[in-house]
A and B are shown apart, each in its own frame.
Chain A
Amino acid sequence: NAGVIQTPRHKVTGKGQEATLWCEPISGHSAVFWYRQTIVQGLEFLTYFRNQAPIDDSGMPKERFSAQMPNQSHSTLKIQSTQPQDSAVYLCASSLDWGVYEQYFGPGTRLTVL
Chain B
Amino acid sequence: QQKVQQSPESLIVPEGGMASLNCTSSDRNVDYFWWYRQHSGKSPKMLMSIFSNGEKEEGRFTVHLNKASLHTSLHIRDSQPSDSALYLCAAGDTNAYKVIFGKGTHLHVLP
Residues of A within 8 A of B (CB): 33, 35, 41-43, 45, 48, 50, 55-56, 91, 98-100, 102-103, 105-108
User: Given known contacts A42-B103, A100-B32, is B44 in contact with A105 (CB within 8 Å)?
Assistant: yes
Q: Chain B residues near A41: list those with CB within 8 A.
A: 103
Q: Which partner residue on chain B sits nearest A3 by CB separation?
A: B43
Is the Cβ of A56 less than 8 Å from the Cβ of B49? no
User: Given known contacts A99-B94, A100-B51, is B102 in contact with A42 (CB within 8 Å)?
Assistant: yes
Is the Cβ of A45 less than 8 Å from the Cβ of B49? no
Q: Which partner residue on chain B sits nearest A105 by CB separation?
A: B43
The docked-state distance in angstroms from the alpha carbon of A103 to that of B35 is 11
Chain B 52-109 residues near chain A, CB threshold 8 A: 88, 92, 94, 97-104
Chain B nearest CB from A98 CB (Å) reads 6
The A-B contact count (CB < 8 A) is 42
Is the Cβ of B46 less than 8 Å from the Cβ of A102? yes
Interface of B is mostly: strand
Residues of B within 8 A of A (CB): 32, 34, 42-46, 49, 51, 88, 92, 94, 97-104
Q: Chain B residues near A105: list those with CB within 8 A.
A: 43-45
Is the Cβ of A106 less than 8 Å from the Cβ of B101? no
Is the Cβ of B43 less than 8 Å from the Cβ of A108? yes
Contact of B97 among A42, A43, A48, A91 (CB under 8 A): A48
The docked-state distance in angstroms from the alpha carbon of A99 to that of B49 is 12
